[in-house]
Amino acid sequence: MTSILKSTNTELDFETIKESLKSFLKNQSKFTDYNFEGSGLSILLDILSYNTHFNALNAHLALNEMHLSSAVVRENVVNHAKSLGYIPFSKTSSTAIVKIEITPPMFNVIQSYTLSKGTRLVSAVDRQQFSFYVFDDYVATKNAGKFTFNNVIIKEGVYKTIRFIYDSKLPFSRFEIPDKDVDISTIGVKIKNNTNSTIYTSFEMMKSYSNIDSSTNVFYLQENSNGKYEVYFGNGVIGTEPENGNIIEIDYIYTTGKKANGAKSFIIAQTLIESGEICSVTTTTRASGGAEKETIESIRRNAPLFYSSQNRCVTLDDYKTIVLNNYPGIETISVWGGENEIIPEFGKIFLSIKPVGAEALTEAEKLFIINNILEPKKVATVTPEIIDPEYTTIILYILFKYNAYKTSLSYGELVSNVRSVLQEYDTNDLRKFNGAFRHSNLLSMIDNPGFGLT
């Protein structure tokens, strides 16, 4: 009897629960010859079974949500990752590098001009227009009647500024960024004493707890239960705490992600100096690196790796995890030691990276990854080096046969289905390091009955 009830308490299937209850009652002397299906007791058994089923299901789901590896609700996955010190990466803006030349009217006498952060440019990809914004201030002096700005970094999205008033009476003040599609790498935070003040103090995003004290101007970032990011500050012990009434100004870019990858022609969408100026934009590096927000599966995979690396580059997996966490616009990455080269190069770590929307990283992107991401975290005696991926092109000639009497799809629709299969196979299997082309797997995907080749 007891074993039957125990199995009922842990069972998730409704019919199995009901059968267990029937078996239990049939073993009672009062119900030995009772017809459970043809009596009102069957309804009571249904109620008991549903109640047991719901309780078991809720307990099962609650237990799953307590662990990072089995949680399915994003809020819970993010909270588990946070306990490991991991912040899921956001959508990432597509980034381009351009050269901007401004020729002001002849009567203009200014000799120095600052191209301000937030200057808007536009471009189009597949007939869809996208806005790009200058990501920093650039200064140039007039030469031959024009101002020339080289290597200007522009990011796709919408540039936005929001302001808050700090209230020291609140025990844990957090300032939510209202746009879910914010690129957290573009977040800038500065604080001034009050509304009348014009002097700002800049705060940097906290990357490591080392060398942070009560006077360090840092802000912290986390993803909240709504899927939005929120900014908060130190408590005066680990990081500076703003004073009551301070004005907090947060600027950022929220983006469409990978949709703008490939943009290569840009025009300035506003007057910079004065009416009559001539502006030209030359693309140095077309837009790439735009990526979608980190998925639950990716968080599950990366958070434990990030924790095991302790935010330091020691093993090969550490290098991979640190780069992926700090530069999310990466489609695939491979890391190996210099001792594995044909001619060994001891003391070196090699990385090969394929970014989203491009075949290789630009020199500026390589330098950023090495100097800003890897250099502060690497072992002192190890030198990282990024090399371009090598590609093997596969040309396929596909001839397929189909029975027109067994499918409702037209020839054009069938061709489109086959092309979709090829693109999916290329994305999921081939455009990865160590990817292998398997002819049989591709054919089985094309022959899938769901694609109409009956």
Fold of 310-387: GMP Synthetase; Chain A, domain 3 (3.30.300)
- pLDDT, residue 349, reads 92
- Give the global pTM: 0.69
Residue 435, Cβ neighbours under 10 Å: how many? 14
List of the chain residues with pLDDT < 70: 1-12, 30-40, 209-210, 449-454
Supply the Cα-derived Rg of the chain in whole angstroms. Answer: 30
The single residue listed with the structure tokens 């267990």 is 20
Residue 454 has what pLDDT?
A: 56
**Model pLDDT, residue 8:** 44
pLDDT at 152: 93
Measured CA to CA, the distance from residue 108 to residue 276 in angstroms comes to: 10
* Strand ranges for 92-157 from DSSP E: 95-103, 112-115, 120-125, 128-134, 138-141, 147-156
The 3-class SS string of 398-446 reads CCCCCCHHHCCCCHHHHHHHHHHHHHHHHHHHHCCCCCCCCHHHHHHHH
Find where tokens 């029937």 sit: 22
What pLDDT, on a 0 to 100 scale, did the predictor assign at position 39?
65
pLDDT of residue 412: 84
Using a 10 angstrom Cβ sphere, with 0-12 exposed, 13-18 middle and 19 or more buried, the burial of residue 192 is middle
Phi, psi dihedral angles at 214 (to 5 degrees): -70, -15
Domain extent listing, the chain: 2-64, 95-157+258-288, 159-254, 310-387, 404-451
